[in-house]
A = this chain, B = another copy of it.
Amino acid sequence: MSQEILIGKVAILLATLEESETAPFQPLLKGVHYCRGKVGAMNMEKVIAAVETAATRENLITENLYRENHALYHAILEALEGVTRGQFAIGDMKRTVGLRFAVVRGRPYTDKREGEWIAVAFYGTIGAPVKGLEHEAMGLGVNHI
């Protein structure tokens, strides 16, 4: 493969695994910047804001630089397509999400002209707004930055 760092895989593992399970994967975290967070919500806007706020605060993207915000925004939307699977809505469809997320920024390709890319992953539950009436959901978005 022409990728030497799998930023998508790193994001998936950071979102999916418990803290205690990530030990074997520490070597993968070398050479990337990342952050993790959690969000529970019945509307998309709150989920998007939670990821943007975390990524800005952790300096994964430069505040008010639109090209970086634009890259992150589309990576978030693509990851949410995986979470919502076909209808791009949560509360409007009478469902709620409880998600862990990870944002990873790095240089995945061996050809250094490819520059930096960003990956966003979500993992958690989606379901009715009743405790326990829910199943797992996951999404990954990747974009050049």
Contacts and interface: CB of A to CB of B under 8 A. Distances in A.
Contacts of A7: 136
Nearest to A83: B82
A137 to B, nearest CB: 7
Interface residues of A, number: 72
Given A65-B113, A78-B86, A2 B128 contact: no
A138 B82 contact: yes
Interface of A: 1-3, 6-9, 12-13, 16, 21, 24-25, 43-45, 48-49, 52, 62, 64-67, 69-71, 73-74, 77-78, 81-83, 85-89, 91-95, 108-109, 111, 113-115, 117, 119, 121, 123, 125, 127-128, 130-144
